[in-house]
């Protein structure tokens, strides 16, 4: 049982913008991927994507943990390190669902 998450990276440390995208079929392994992202302070961006800033060390640790989480199950995990200008220059189109949708 996970009561209080322990962040594995100090959120005050500078890091590179990072985007983690995944498509993991096995529910148990997908949960491990989600928990790993949360443990490193990444925020859910959409159902199968997390984003935040990671130091180089934290990113390498997360990569290892995600590789173990996927194991030999079918799936894909992409870890994209971005430059800040790419985040600043991104176009994001978002609209809340209307009530009843």
- What is the C-alpha to C-alpha distance for residues 52 and 99, in angstroms, rounded to an integer? 30
According to DSSP, the residues that pair with 43 across neighbouring strands are 51
Residue whose tokens read 């943990």: 65
The answer to whether the predicted template modeling score (pTM) of the entire model surpasses 0.85 is no
Domain extents in the chain: 16-88
Q: How confident is the model at residue 14 (pLDDT cuts 50, 70, 90)?
A: confident
Q: Are 62 and 79 in contact (CB under 8 A)?
A: yes
| Tens-digit pLDDT profile for residues 35-48 | 999 999 999 999 99
- Per CATH, the architecture of 16-88 is what? 2-Layer Sandwich (3.30)
Query: How far is it, in rounded angstroms, from Cα 33 to Cα 39?
Result: 10
Q: How far apart are the C-alpha atoms of 80 and 58, rounded to whole Å?
A: 13
The CA distances from residue 8 to 27, 32, 97, in Å, are: 23, 15, 34
């Amino acid at each position: 049982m996970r009561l209080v998450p322990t962040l594995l990276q100090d959120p005050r440390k500078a890091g590179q913008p990072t985007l983690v995208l995944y498509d993991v079929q096995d529910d148990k392994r997908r949960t491990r991927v989600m928990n790993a992202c949360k443990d490193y302070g990444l925020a859910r961006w959409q159902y199968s994507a997390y984003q935040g800033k990671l130091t180089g060390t934290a990113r390498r640790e997360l990569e290892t943990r995600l590789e173990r989480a996927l194991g030999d199950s079918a799936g894909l995990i992409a870890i994209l390190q971005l430059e800040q200008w790419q985040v600043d220059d991104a176009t994001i189109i978002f609209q809340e669902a209307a009530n009843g949708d």
